[in-house]
Amino acid sequence: MTPNALPRLSRAALGSVAPKIAIPTYDPAAVTPGIVHLGFGGFHRAHMARYTHDLMQRGADALSWGIIGAGLMPADARIRDALTPQDGLYSLVERDADGERVTVIGSTPQVILAGRDSAALLDAIDGETIRIVSLTVTEHGYCLDTATKRLAPDHPAIAADLRSPDRPHTAIGVIVEAYRRRKDATRRAFTALSCDNIQHNGDVLKTAILDFAALRDPALADWIATHARFPSTMVDRITPVSQPSDIAAFAERYGVQDAWPVFCETFTQWVIEDDFADGRPAWEDAGAQLVADVAPYEFMKLRLLNASHLAIAGLGRLMGHTFIDQTMSDPRMARYMAALMDRETGPTLMSVPGVDLPAYKAKLVQRFANPTIKDTVDRVNTDAALNYLLDPIRDRLASGDSVDLLALGVAAWIRRMTGVDETGVAMTIHHPQADLLREKAPQGLGDPRSVLSIRQLFGDLGDNAVFVAVVGKWLAALHAVGACRVLDQAAAELGF
């Protein structure tokens, strides 16, 4: 049967996709919205939407916590157009070395697009039943000054929202305008729940929201500070971008068309600060951890997983690798990652209650090497914030400790910003400062000072002689002999 002749996933087609695929035990048509999520990408659909689906499987009282997914970019029309004919349903494919399991997720009954006009999104958040607005927009979507982690009021998108605050396009502008509507209508504030990989993400979001609100109206900022809540979270699940080949193979394997299934690893973790303005789902019943303080778990994940991910992805790209698992198949890279965690990022952690850190680190190496998760080095390099490396570097320098392994990751990041790989082939650079980086990265080649002078990215680290010297050493070597030989050199010098 040709793919076009296969049934399209929808509520009406659920009976025809079982038993190969696990379908909801509840009626997806009975799901009503309680949450609006900004940034309706693959990670959210593999993570928060999955937890909410699992909770709905446990009892009908959770059906009032359905999620309206919202795309903030014009390109997000693809997601809306893929899932709307499917009644918001999609397939989640969870993979490990032992195989895969497929589940139809029914917790997201509606997808809307706010890429060019936020009116529909603001009306959705204004709904009487909406009690949480969550977001996964990456650190870039917060429009922050990278060095201070506060809102950058001169950011072009923020400046545009301040000129037309009732027609915002940024996540920050949308949330503030939604709070303004609640305030003026004397209604309860909703909880703004960050699910992004940012240290103290709840505090960072709150500060950005209050900074923006204060620029609009100090009384609005005071109301938000008093009534709204911004719990921090730690989120973890490797979720590569779904490829056309994956989608076609899925249809052939399972006999159903799904315009945008999501593929991810089997591991998942979600730690949430239990501080909500107007109720919340009982996500702990679906495996999430509700805690008083997320910070130890945030540090663990950001410093061990995210810093390692970015460090190996940069080096892997320079070495010619396409995928993370391919990069990790090089024993030198696996040893480098283990040494990075044991010697430099791991020692910056606080105590993490209930976590066996050696086992956690060993599991990370195993997860990155998972051959069934074709996560590309380019995705990690594009999505990852440079602060994953810079934050532990600042801590290490402050205590007088070495940063050799972290600096190698930074040097690889700078080398990649030249836009040309070691064979002379062009590399696409996706970064808010891409034009400036392409201009500065080739200057001096092995001398990092031109790039490190970008204070919006590096703050005062460019003034630290120790940091500049060690980054310069690795950067010069990367230009001179290439990443493979540099990794050999590092292994010999540092003993890993």
> pLDDT at position 174, please?
98
Mean pLDDT value of segment 403-414: 97
Q: Which amino acid is at 78?
A: R
User: Same domain, yes or no, for 387 and 268?
Assistant: no
Range of the domain at 457: 295-494
User: Same domain, yes or no, for 11 and 152?
Assistant: yes
User: Same domain, yes or no, for 30 and 57?
Assistant: yes
> pLDDT at position 383, please?
79
User: Same domain, yes or no, for 277 and 341?
Assistant: no
User: Same domain, yes or no, for 65 and 178?
Assistant: yes
User: Same domain, yes or no, for 249 and 345?
Assistant: no
Residues 3-57: tens digit of each pLDDT = 568 999 999 999 888 788 999 999 999 999 999 999 999 999 999 999 999 999 9
How far is Cα 234 from Cα 236, in angstroms, rounded to an integer? 7
**Residue 86 or residue 457, greater confidence:** 86
Report the CATH number that the domain containing residue 134 is assigned in CATH. Answer: 3.40.50.720
Query: Final residue of a domain: which of 291, 316, 331?
Result: 291
Q: How confident is the model at residue 355 (pLDDT cuts 50, 70, 90)?
A: very high
User: Same domain, yes or no, for 185 and 303?
Assistant: no
Indicate the average pLDDT of the chain: 94
Mean pLDDT value of segment 422-448: 84
Q: How confident is the model at residue 74 (pLDDT cuts 50, 70, 90)?
A: very high
Rounded to 10 degrees, the C-alpha dihedral 250/255/257/258 comes to -50
pLDDT at 2 over 60: no
Beta-carbon contacts of 253 under 8 Å, excluding residues fewer than 6 positions away, are none
Q: Percent of the chain scored above 70 by pLDDT?
A: 99
> Residue 375: left (phi > 0), alpha (psi -120 to 50), or beta?
beta
pLDDT at 440 over 70: yes
Residues 12-25: tens digit of each pLDDT = 999 888 788 999 99
Residue with tokens 């040709």: 2
User: Same domain, yes or no, for 72 and 124?
Assistant: yes
> pLDDT at position 438, please?
85
Which of 243-272 are b and which e, b meaning 16 or more Cβ less than 10 Å from the residue's Cβ? eeebbeebbeebebbbbbbbbbbbbbbbbb
pLDDT at 416 over 80: yes
Report which DSSP code applies to 36: E
User: Same domain, yes or no, for 302 and 230?
Assistant: no
> pLDDT at position 3, please?
57
User: Same domain, yes or no, for 276 and 316?
Assistant: no
Report how far apart, in Å, the C-alpha atoms of 459 and of each of 45, 66, 306 are.
35, 41, 20
Query: Final residue of a domain: which of 263, 291, 319?
Result: 291
> pLDDT at position 421, please?
84
Lowest pLDDT segment from 144-148, 215-219, 222-226, 336-340:
144-148
> pLDDT at position 119, please?
97
> pLDDT at position 345, please?
98
User: Same domain, yes or no, for 308 and 214?
Assistant: no
> pLDDT at position 105, please?
98
> pLDDT at position 211, please?
98
Mean pLDDT value of segment 187-198: 96
Report the CATH number that the domain containing residue 321 is assigned in CATH. Answer: 1.10.1040.10
> Sign of the C-alpha dihedral, residues 385, 391, 397, 400?
negative
pLDDT at 241 over 70: yes
Report which secondary-structure segment, H or E, holds 272.
Answer: strand 269-273
Domain count, the chain: 2
Residues 143-180: tens digit of each pLDDT = 998 778 899 999 999 999 999 999 999 999 999 999 99
Query: Final residue of a domain: which of 270, 291, 312?
Result: 291
> pLDDT at position 442, please?
85
> pLDDT at position 437, please?
87
On whether the CB atoms of residues 477 and 489 are closer than 8 A, the answer is: yes
Mean pLDDT value of segment 128-142: 95
Mean pLDDT value of segment 420-430: 84
pLDDT at 239 over 60: yes
User: Same domain, yes or no, for 429 and 312?
Assistant: yes
> pLDDT at position 97, please?
85
Residue with tokens 């909410």: 52
> pLDDT at position 19, please?
84
